[in-house]
Amino acid sequence: VVGVLKKTTGLVGLAVYKWLKRKQMVKKLEDPLQGSQIEEVILQAENELNLTRKMIEWKSWEPLVEEPPANEWKWPI
């Protein structure tokens, strides 16, 4: 059994995921990331999944209940 590859991600507040225990698996996952940590990718995916769940709850694709105030969406401010 290969031991834990890394004890830290080197990023403040971002722990090593416990299921990343085999050196070969971590290397295979991180090599294509060109220096990024696999934990960063997992965190981003979790954040996107949470946002997707909220968007389903909000039904953001449906029309607005009321018209927005004039110039609400005007750019630049």
Contacts of 40 (CB under 8 A, 6+ apart): 9, 11, 14, 33
In the chain, the N- to C-terminal Cα span, in Å, equals 59
pLDDT in tens, 1-25: 445 567 888 888 888 877 766 777 7
| Alpha-carbon torsion, ordered 38, 39, 42, 43, to 10 deg | -140
Q: Check whether 45 has a pLDDT greater than 90.
A: yes
Question: What is the reported pLDDT for 1?
Answer: 41
Peptide bond between residue 68 and the one before it cis (omega within 30 degrees of 0): no
